[in-house]
Amino acid sequence: MRLSLEPMKLFLVPLLFASLTSAQQGPVDVNATGLISAQDLLAHTDHIIFNITLEQFRFTRKSGLWGALDWSSDGCSHSPDNPFKFPFVPACYRHDFAYRNYKRQKRFTEINRERIDNNFLKDTVSWATRDACRHLAKVYYLSVRRWGARGVTMDNPGVEVKMVDTKAGVPTAGDQTSGKLVSKEDKDMKEAMVNYLQAVDHAQRANQLPGPDLKGKRVEVSIANDKLEVKQYNRNETTDD
């Protein structure tokens, strides 16, 4: 169903109260018989994305309420590998909810996309208990910043791509010849991946994450072709090295 954004048009959808129940009590409190204007629907969409906790979002999503909104999600299927099963899926659900409803409501601008992506980083980091988890959250964030611009409306269509001289490590003009020119996004991504690998190595040496010296699965993480590469082996299996 396509939503009209005319402020006066009404939809028969649950009405979200301003006061919220706690995550332990269940989903966001609603009045199932209320009428809400399209303009209020936009405000409540923002409320679900930015103002309630991730735990409250999970309960609300499972409740089956708010049929006028798009709750579909493919989880974290397009994100980098997560071999240690860090709990990013709920954050991916909310990120998908935000992208898809902002697109349906025709307000998916670059400014709004940045706000949504920043909230995604906040969600992923909020559940992180290890340095490796926090650094992988940064990799996830940079991935959506790099690849999530499809569908951005033309009032603010994109972000300026800054070039970085890898020798100097500072923004430079496009005709600079010393070093290799890469986008700032690429430089930030490489730095985030290196930080993640270092955190994984430290945690594996401290027996805090599965690694070559632990029983069960052996997990090795590396960077190949500017992407994270994950290899998993059974306990007695050897590598090709």
Which residue type sits at 18? A
Under CATH, what is the fold of the domain 70-153+183-212?
Answer: Phospholipase A2 (1.20.90)
Report whether 127 contacts 87 (CB < 8 A).
Answer: yes
Return d(Cα 31, Cα 162) in angstroms, integer.
48
Ordered per-residue pLDDT tens for the chain, 241 residues: 443 433 333 333 333 433 333 333 444 444 443 567 888 899 999 999 999 999 999 999 999 888 889 999 999 987 888 989 999 999 999 999 999 999 999 999 999 999 999 999 999 999 899 999 999 999 999 999 988 777 676 444 443 334 334 344 444 333 333 345 567 888 899 999 999 999 999 998 898 887 654 455 567 776 766 677 777 666 455 444 3
Known catalytic membership, residue 95? yes
Domain ranges of the chain: 1-65, 70-153+183-212
Provide the whole-model pTM: 0.70
Active-site option among 78, 95, 135, 202? 95
Tally: H helices and E strands in the chain: 6, 9
